[in-house]
Amino acid sequence: MKFSIGDSVKVKEGIMCPDDDSVCISGWQGRIFDVEEGDDIIGIRWDSITLKQLPLEYIRQSEEDGLDWAEMYLSLNEVEPASSRDLETTADDIREQMESKFFWLGRGKEGERILKVIADADDRVEAWDSHLSQVLKFPFEAEVSEPQDRGPLGCGDKVTVHKITEANEHYGILVDVTCGKQRFIFPLCGLTVRDKKSPNYTSVKDYCVWFANR
């Protein structure tokens, strides 16, 4: 059967994942985005329903292996025509949401800790605000690692962090700091905890890594 880009297809019964033969992909459904006619191979992007049902371990392994779990190439004899179950824009939106969330699964323990904070959050900055408010012990000593463009503090300046002041969509978590006798409001993403043995060090570093890759 000849397929075209945009056609909806479903994986036939008994078909296993070409990248992991322990994963059965029977019934997975999506839309064709690529047709390699000479090799009878098609590229499929999964629809929103299949995306939501993907096994977490499959997504985790795909992230670790650098594979795209949101799409797959299969031979023509492994699929059959299907009726569309959603809008393509809906599938695109779900894929983007899942990619921004599961990006962290392939980043080891650090990624797992970050994902635990943001996994079910509608507002991820607020999720970090809530998490850090619970786990950070104040005051603590830090060093400026990312100075503001026109701010008074420079790279390497030593500060004391006293408290979280607010969560801002643009700057992220803002904290109250002192440098000598001067007091400032500074983005936490621009600070590194000086004591690497402190529990604060890992929590702040995780947040900074998330903020840089959000």
Residue 189 has a pLDDT of 96
What's the pTM value of the predicted model, to 2 decimals? Answer: 0.72
In the chain, the domains with their CATH numbers are 8-102 (no CATH), 111-213 (2.30.30.530)
pLDDT < 70: residue spans in the chain: 1
For residue 121 the two structure tokens come to 């959050």
Query: pLDDT digits over 5-37, tens only?
Result: 999 999 999 999 999 889 999 999 999 999 987
Rounded to whole angstroms, how far apart are CA atoms 196 and 16? 46
Query: Residue 164: which of 195, 198, 192, 128 has the closest Cα?
Result: 128
Side-chain half-sphere exposure of 210, counting CA atoms within 13 A: 30
Tokens 């004591």 correspond to 195
**Alpha carbon distance 214, 117 (integer Å):** 13
CA separation for the pair 69, 46 (Å, rounded):
9
Record the tokens describing residue 47, joined without a space.
């629809």
Three-state SS at 60? helix
DSSP state of 173: E
